[in-house]
Amino acid sequence: MACNECAKLGRIIWEEETKHGQDNRKATVGFVPRRTQKKPSEAQLDPNQELVEDYGSKIRKVRESQGLSQKELGKKIKEKASVVRKIEAGKATPSNTLITKLEHVLKIKLLVSVSEEKPQQTMIPTPKSPSMTFGDLLQLKEKKAEEEPVERGQS
């Protein structure tokens, strides 16, 4: 049996019958935890958007130009100053929700469209290249050998 103060916090989970078959019933209150609210799901971003590369320095520059400290910005976006510090240093990547808050408060654009055609870098084997194989080295040597007589003949 719980006291009246504690009974207010719980719910009735079963009832006990009294002796002698009387209609009077005693309510027994047990502790049943209350349901907690589910956290809202992360804001979904368009898969065609990505975070700008220099987001940390961009956030810091705009924050400083608006005269805000890291602590003040943290209060505005409802985060700790340490979170702002880590994001500005590039040690932490902001979540989708946090990106949205930062864009709104600082009035900047942190998300850019992903270009479908990314320039492909062709790797030209060089002797200093870490992914060079012995075959690449032999081909490079053969090309140099073919080019040398032509250069000597022209001089």
Domains of the chain: which residue ranges? 1-33, 49-113
Exposure class string for 71-86: b at 16+ Cβ within 10 A, else e: eebbebbebeeebbbe
**49-113 belongs to CATH 3.30.420.40:** no
Nearest to 92 by CA among 103, 100, 83, 79: 83
Nearest to 58 by CA among 32, 23, 7, 94: 94
Predicted local distance difference test score (pLDDT) of residue 121: 56
Say yes or no to pLDDT of 117 above 50.
no
Say yes or no to pLDDT of 106 above 80.
yes
Q: Against a cut of 0.75, is the pTM above it? A: no
